[in-house]
Structure 1
Amino acid sequence: MVNSTSPDFSANTEATASQLPRRLNLLQGTALNMIDMVGIGPFVVLPFVIKTMGGPLFLWAWVLGAVVALIDAFVWAELGAAFPQAGGSYNFLKIAYGERRWGRLLSFLYVWQTLIQAPLVVASGAIGFAQYSSYLVPLTDWQLKLVSGAVVLLIIGLLYRKIDSIGKIGLVMWSAVLLTLGLIIVGGLSNIRIPVGQTLSAMTDLSGGLLAAGLGQASVKTIYCYLGYYNVCHLGGEMKRPERTIPASMFISIAGIAILYLLMNLSVVSVVPWQQAQHSEFIVSTFVETLYGPGAARIATVLVLVVAFSSLFAVLLGYSRVPYAAAVDGQFFRVFARLHPTRQFPYVSLLFLGGLGFVFSLLFRLSDVITAILAMRIMIQFVGQAVGLLLLHHRRKRSEFPFRMPLFPLPVLLAIGVWLWIFYATGWPFMRSGLVVTGLGVVAFLVSARLQKQWPG
């Protein structure tokens, strides 16, 4: 542990003694997962995926995204059920690699990356929200930035409350997500203009190979649209019966979203030819306008914006628990361990990540942010904790894992291999940026360890 006399690190006694209340149930956890997963992603990514894959083959990218999420969810399910604490991957890495040595380094690096990539995730949703809103009212560049910044501030305000209220708000937002996707699916499949069978049969034409068609690059975008299935692990300290609700909420979320995504894609290309859809900046609005006219398209656009807003709500909620967990554990600046005196939530962590997300939303472009988010997280979070689970199985008894994946360790090995492939598919500029952030994190860890006279200082 860190030196308790340090002015910068270690949580104070009050923060350490404070416990987050376990008040989220399976339904609320699943809702928060699903609204985190959907967001603005599928609505802005769909045209890019079609263009990259060159036609109906684009559906394979969405299938692969679901498969990757499912395989990786087995890793999260075992870790989340065994160690249901606030912070998710922070605790998983610390416990798997040892709390005194390498676990300290890897968990520190995860929190370090979270301080950058979590605001980037928030910014990506806010930027996408602003871009889609320009269908309703044409916006200049500075007006787009104004809208994206205002969305982040509004999200912070909504999250500044007790977890009880947040669970109820999450259910309302989940209803909006299901309503929006449901209307798109029903509208398209009940007004088919291009036979669905024609699209599905084209998926079997793999001439030239899937990789040659751009599956790797397209899958980077679709996997981004599935991210969030593990959000419930970040809220592990607030889940009721976590050994059951955490795994169940993840698998329900992935299955539900995968079905909705595939049906939504089929619905859209059954009405709007893929040759046209690949160039649309507002594909859902174009789709609804084709069916019902401009008025209905504006209503559909509003629903898409509600979905995007809901996702930002869940994203910032989950990530705000990560620096808090590290600070309570004495491995990060103690100010992040502070809970609101009456509402019992980590308000400093929320304000910091939200504030940085506000700044990033004014600075970056959406396409670059999406790829950077994935490249930054893969090595430490996804690959790191999968390897860590293998180490835990060698050290701990089977009874210590309330949930056990089938065919262990095959899903873990598949997850590691797929994530390394996706990391390569992001491209060298983004691979390099992810490695640079990690390198800077190592330097920061060594400096802090030296000052605190901890391992390896």
Structure 2
Amino acid sequence: MAGTDRTAAQDDVGFVRRIGQFQASAINMSQMVGIGPFITIPAMIIAFGGPQAVIGWVAGAVLALADGLIWAELGASMPGAGGSYIYLREAFQYRTGRLVPFLFTWTAMLFIPLIMSTGVAGFVQYLAFLWPSMSGGQGDLVGLAMCLAVVLLLWRRIDSVGRLTSVLWAIMIVSVACVIVASFTHFHAADAFTYPAHAFDLGSTKFWLGFAGGLTIGIYDYLGYNTTAYMGAEIKRPGRVLPRSIVYAIVGVMCIYLLMQIGTLGVVNWHDMIDPADPASRSVAAVVLEKAWGRTTADVITVLILITAFASVFAGLLGGSRVPYDAARDKVFFKQFGRLHPRHRFPVLGLVAMGVITAAAFLVSRHLGDAQAHPPLTVLITFLTTTMVIVQAFAQIAAVTVLRRRQPGLRRPYRMWLYPLPSVVALAGWLTVYVFADRNNPGLHPIEGSLGWVALGCLAFLVWARAEHTWPFGPKEIDERYLHAPADPSGAPEEAGADGGPTTT
């Protein structure tokens, strides 16, 4: 194990800290604003039952900011490549060995493909604007073909995705800007600010069920604010840049989302957005553009949105397939995932597994959901958020406190503002998303599904741990590499080398 730790340390030291404040904030924003806002505006209206849906975007931003401050403290203290995997490994190794980082990788094998499947669903939704006669079966085939195309395109050596990221960013910016400009040049305030009766009745169960559903959709749309935490080894002055990149990105994206939500409400009647037979319920941005600038312009921008959806799935599976590979290389996951293609040098099993799960999740959501009560997109968002809550969100909230007690000497260039208030707010927000999941999705049982997946992961861990002779079938290996790491010239703690290896207990 010590040799593996030295290898991982050398890998992280090999990164160059060259990403500054502007680039870091832009990276977070580009990951946050993908296909999400184009496909979830009608879903947010359905959740709240009217234009008061703007509450969902604000609530999602509050939860993202509170949770983002947790990421900021952990990322600034342990600025290596890996994000959650590092933080959970460092915090929970004392009592449960490698269990928690194993479970994180296990759940990532599900929630990353679930996120990607929302991009597939969004692609099919917007394609219907260009292909109105597309049947349900044809939509299924299109989605499956898209998944296969992504896997085939990734079945090669990928040295850099910088060009793809730049193209995706430019297309996304053009698409969002066009929708916002079109909205406010044809805006009708009466449509945007006319609310149904009892829209803000805080004493009704209906309001809070809608709030929980809207918060779930909102936090899904803000996911990506933590991207720079996974790139900690490449961030300049991470104690300063990383926290600011999170806050700047969340505030900036919240403004974009509010403008898009309010703007579309001023052009498209909200009743049309919740009518499954109306195109606005599936491709609201295209309908806004058609009403404002005509069909031809709407078709052109819809093509850009389709490209955005495809590219987001491509980039997501490219990065996601590396998660089990990195864990297997560090000997905290099944070693089969640590093998690379002999010629093209990509993780074969990780790519295939996540591609298959993405396709399966897309198909299941199409047939589990229905146009009225459970739109397929909402089904996917609910399952992915409930899956990631237990092992990532709840665990990281606990990790901040655990590390403050277990490693009080750990360098913390950034300490969470108003601690522990952000942790309390984040916990309340994630609990709201989790606890109301079943009530907002009767018959689908997302809570039971998430608990079942974690339980299955625990059984998989026992099988793996027995084969690897590690805890609970062997000694715990305590690795405090960041606690003993020297500071680099920018003030960030580095990975320890050979002298910072693990101790066995």
- TM-score, scaled relative to structure 1: 0.87
> Residue deviations 1:211-235, cap 9 Å, x none?
5321112221222111121133334
Picking from 71, 75, 78, the partner of 1:76 is 71
Query: Do the aligned residues in 2 keep the contact of 1:65 with 1:226 (CA within 8 Å)?
Result: yes
Query: Do the aligned residues in 2 keep the contact of 1:191 with 1:271 (CA within 8 Å)?
Result: yes
Is 2:258 the counterpart of 1:262? yes
Picking from 463, 468, 473, the partner of 1:452 is 468
After superposition, the Cα gap between the structure-2 partners of 1:36 and 1:145, relative to the gap in structure 1 and judged at 3 Å, is farther
Query: Do the aligned residues in 1 keep the contact of 2:77 with 2:410 (CA within 8 Å)?
Result: no
Counterpart of 2:174? 179
Task: Decide which moves more: 181-190 or 299-308.
Answer: 299-308
Counterpart of 2:41? 46
Q: Please give the secondary structure, in 2, of the residue aligned with 1:427.
A: helix
Query: Do the aligned residues in 2 keep the contact of 1:289 with 1:297 (CA within 8 Å)?
Result: yes
Is 2:434 the counterpart of 1:434? no
> Residue deviations 1:174-229, cap 9 Å, x none?
12212211111111112212358x62999996235475321112221222111121
- The one-letter amino acid of 1:116's match is L
After superposition, the Cα gap between the structure-2 partners of 1:388 and 1:160, relative to the gap in structure 1 and judged at 3 Å, is farther
Within 5 Å, which residues of 2 pair with 1:16-165? 18=11, 21-22=15-16, 25-26=19-20, 27-98=22-93, 101-137=95-131, 138-156=133-151, 157=153, 161-162=157-158, 165=160
Query: Do the aligned residues in 2 keep the contact of 1:68 with 1:415 (CA within 8 Å)?
Result: yes
How many residue pairs match? The answer is: 447
Q: Distance in 1 between matches of 2:5 and 2:334?
A: 10
After superposition, the Cα gap between the structure-2 partners of 1:264 and 1:160, relative to the gap in structure 1 and judged at 3 Å, is farther
> Residue deviations 1:307-363, cap 9 Å, x none?
323432443344334213311221112343356789876565345423432444344
After superposition, the Cα gap between the structure-2 partners of 1:205 and 1:132, relative to the gap in structure 1 and judged at 3 Å, is closer
Query: Do the aligned residues in 2 keep the contact of 1:234 with 1:318 (CA within 8 Å)?
Result: no
Counterpart of 1:229? 225
Query: Do the aligned residues in 2 keep the contact of 1:324 with 1:337 (CA within 8 Å)?
Result: yes
Counterpart of 2:249? 253
Is 2:329 the counterpart of 1:333? no
After superposition, the Cα gap between the structure-2 partners of 1:15 and 1:93, relative to the gap in structure 1 and judged at 3 Å, is closer
Within 5 Å, which residues of 2 pair with 1:242-391? 242-279=238-275, 280-338=281-339, 349-365=350-366, 366=376, 367-391=378-402
Query: Do the aligned residues in 1 keep the contact of 2:17 with 2:233 (CA within 8 Å)?
Result: no
1:394 Cα offset (Å): 1.6
Q: Please give the secondary structure, in 2, of the residue aligned with 1:439.
A: helix
Task: Decide which moves more: 376-385 or 391-400.
Answer: 391-400
Is 2:183 the counterpart of 1:188? yes
1:403 Cα offset (Å): 1.8
1:30 Cα offset (Å): 3.8
1:237 Cα offset (Å): 4.3
Q: Please give the secondary structure, in 1, of the residue aligned with 2:290.
A: helix
Query: Do the aligned residues in 1 keep the contact of 2:361 with 2:380 (CA within 8 Å)?
Result: no
After superposition, the Cα gap between the structure-2 partners of 1:146 and 1:208, relative to the gap in structure 1 and judged at 3 Å, is same
Unaligned runs of 5+ in 2: 276-280, 367-375, 440-444, 474-505
Q: Please give the secondary structure, in 2, of the residue aligned with 1:266.
A: helix
1:23 Cα offset (Å): 7.2
1:115 Cα offset (Å): 1.1
Picking from 426, 429, 437, the partner of 1:418 is 429
Q: Distance in 2 between matches of 1:235 and 1:339?
A: 22
Task: Decide which moves more: 324-333 or 32-41.
Answer: 32-41
- TM-score, scaled relative to structure 2: 0.79
Q: Distance in 2 between matches of 1:190 and 1:88?
A: 42
Counterpart of 1:8? none
Q: Distance in 1 between matches of 2:78 and 2:126?
A: 39
Work out the percentage of aligned pairs sharing the same amino acid.
35
Q: Distance in 1 between matches of 2:241 and 2:322?
A: 18
- The one-letter amino acid of 2:425's match is L
- The one-letter amino acid of 2:124's match is A
Query: Do the aligned residues in 2 keep the contact of 1:49 with 1:61 (CA within 8 Å)?
Result: yes
After superposition, the Cα gap between the structure-2 partners of 1:309 and 1:382, relative to the gap in structure 1 and judged at 3 Å, is same
Q: Distance in 1 between matches of 2:340 and 2:228?
A: 20
Q: Please give the secondary structure, in 1, of the residue aligned with 2:164.
A: helix
After superposition, the Cα gap between the structure-2 partners of 1:177 and 1:234, relative to the gap in structure 1 and judged at 3 Å, is same
After superposition, the Cα gap between the structure-2 partners of 1:306 and 1:435, relative to the gap in structure 1 and judged at 3 Å, is same
Q: Distance in 2 between matches of 1:258 and 1:13?
A: 41
Q: Please give the secondary structure, in 2, of the residue aligned with 1:433.
A: helix
Task: Decide which moves more: 242-251 or 127-136.
Answer: 242-251
After superposition, the Cα gap between the structure-2 partners of 1:14 and 1:384, relative to the gap in structure 1 and judged at 3 Å, is closer
After superposition, the Cα gap between the structure-2 partners of 1:209 and 1:129, relative to the gap in structure 1 and judged at 3 Å, is farther
> Residue deviations 1:45-66, cap 9 Å, x none?
2112212312221110111011
Unaligned runs of 5+ in 1: 5-10
After superposition, the Cα gap between the structure-2 partners of 1:433 and 1:246, relative to the gap in structure 1 and judged at 3 Å, is same
